[in-house]
Structure 1
Amino acid sequence: MFHREGQKIILFSFCLVGISVILAHFFIDISWLKLTIQLIALVVMITILQFFRNPKRITVKNFNEILSPVDGKVVVIEEVFEKEFFKEKRKQVSIFMSPINVHVTRYPASGSITFSKYHPGKFLVAWHPKSSEENERTTVVIKTPKFGEILYRQIAGAMARRIVNYAEKGESVQQGDDAGFIKFGSRVDLFLPLDCQINVKLNQKVKGADTCIATFVDPNEKEEITY
């Protein structure tokens, strides 16, 4: 299964590869050169197909959990001051996606979209500390039943030149559903409440719509445990 954002480029690539293989077969007499061209064309086609793959994920929706919005590796876990929307301290969890990861973005929680904004910007490498504020990016805020408002940010990397965001202000969304796509290596930042429990570690590999990033902590239960 392939993502809809890749349909045009897959069709174009298929035609281009097909033409290359046919031309090489009929117009190149040198066997090793003909085989090399055909193999390169095949590798290019396979690479494009694997990049736009969209594996089906069955999500068990849970209001008490924030799931990973993407496949990748956790590169940041820290308390930061979120400047754009909350203007207060939040727990940030950042996930880096390499070109070989699935690049579908999925909603990390169920709720309603209260903010969705695109920002043009630079194309610094996705792990650069300033990429969250200076790179091309989209910011989406979901109002959830348990966590209140949470924010996720799609960030373009040095190779990513297009971010697709489906979130629209006012709509209701379901945890695990398709929220967009980022073409080539990139990053997604999550900004969560300070009182939630983070369940992942640095350098841990996570799976979109499957890995639990954070869980809700009931203030009353926490107070009972404390005393």
Structure 2
Amino acid sequence: MALLKFHKEGATIILVSCAISVGIVLLADKFIVDLWLQKTVQIAVLLFLIIILQFFRNPNRTLVVNNNHIIAPVDGKVVVIEEVYESEYFKDNRVQVSIFMSPINVHVTRFPVSGKVKFSKYHPGKFLVAWHPKASEENERTTIVIENKVFGEILYRQIAGALAKRIVNYAKEGMDVVQGEDAGFIKFGSRVDIFLPLGTKVDVKLQQKAVGNRTIIATKA
């Protein structure tokens, strides 16, 4: 059985949550006389800790790099597949594929392709619900562009949701990155948009469950 791993971005929160949980459980055992209330408090605290632990889990998903594939950078549900005008970097039409992550999904972001990081920018912003049509332009977000030798330039955007209060992005301009490696983390609910060249063969469907480092989002036509 594989050892459960946690993402490094959760280290502080996990340690603090564990300490607080243990403290509350011990204090409840000592100071709450009513047995039913005591156990209710202790179970609630343990459930809270389990939620924190599952949120920061980091499953080991190695893959064989394939430059003819664009893989899902995150776990979640495919909520958008459409041709749109990308106004920040390309300033032309692209195929947008968006994956929405609920708080129970794995929130590790992985590089969807290998290549060189050509653009990486953080934008402060709002915290609209991640499925809101304006979330891609108005929410806190990061925009990353990777130049891949097969697909050309691929843009992906990490978008904070109503619960997400911090986006972590490891991509820096000029970096050479490898498909499937750790690209960052979005804390507590969010969305990732991927912008593909027109004519790219999209291999997912709306409402499909995507699995990071497993699901093929698109292939070279």
Task: Tell me if TM exceeds 0.5.
Answer: yes
Q: What secondary structure does 1:214 align onto?
A: strand
Counterpart selection for 2:124 from 120, 124, 127: 120
SS at match of 2:150: coil
CA separation in 1, counterparts of 2:128 and 2:154? 25
| CA displacement at 1:66 relative to structure 2 | 0.2
CA distance in 1, matches of 2:95, 2:77: 17
Where in structure 1 are there 5+ consecutive unaligned residues? 218-227
> What pairs up with 1:103-142 in 2 under 5 angstroms?
103-142=107-146
Q: TM-score, normalised by structure 1?
A: 0.95
State the distance in 1 between where 2:38 and 2:31 align: 9
Aligned to 1:79, what secondary structure does the other structure show? strand
Deviations 1:41-85 (A, max 9, x none): 110110000000000101111000000000000000000110000
- What is the match of residue 222 of structure 1? none
Query: Normalising by the residue count of structure 2, what TM-score does the alignment of the two structures yield?
Result: 0.97
* Structure 1: distance between partners of 2:63 and 2:128: 33
C-alpha deviation, 1:158, in angstroms: 0.6
Residue equivalent to 1:214: 218
CA RMSD of aligned residues (A): 0.5
Deviation at 1:194, TM superposition (A): 0.5
Offset at residue 8 of structure 1 (A)? 0.2
Q: Which residue of 2 aligns with 1:64?
A: 68
Q: Amino acid of the residue matched to residue 105 of structure 1?
A: T
Q: Classify the secondary structure of the residue corresponding to 2:112.
A: coil
Per-residue CA deviations over 1:27-54 (Å, capped at 9, x if unaligned) read: 1111001101110111011000000000
Name 2:106's counterpart in structure 1.
102
Pairwise mapping of residues 188-203 of structure 1 onto structure 2 (< 5 A)?
188-203=192-207
Residue 190 of structure 2: aligned partner: 186
Task: Confirm whether residue 165 of structure 1 aligns to residue 169 of structure 2.
Answer: yes
Hey, what's the Cα distance between the residues in 2 that align with 1:136 and 1:57? 28
Could you give the per-residue CA deviations for residues 159-179 of structure 1, whole angstroms, max 9, x where no partner exists? 101000000000100000000
For 2:169, give the aligned amino acid.
Answer: N
Q: Segments of 4+ in structure 1 off by > 3 A?
A: none
User: Match for residue 224 of structure 1?
Assistant: none
Distance in 2 (CA, whole Å) between partners of 1:8 and 1:138 is: 23
Question: Residues 176-222 of structure 1, C-alpha deviation per residue, up to 9 Å, x if partnerless?
Answer: 000000001110000001021000000000000110000012xxxxx
2:89 matched to 1:89?
Answer: no
- Counterpart CA distance in 1 for 2:34 and 2:135 is 48
> Aligned letter for 1:197?
K
In structure 1, how many angstroms separate the alpha carbons of the residues matched to 2:189 and 2:182?
18
The structure having more radius of gyration, on CA atoms, is: 1
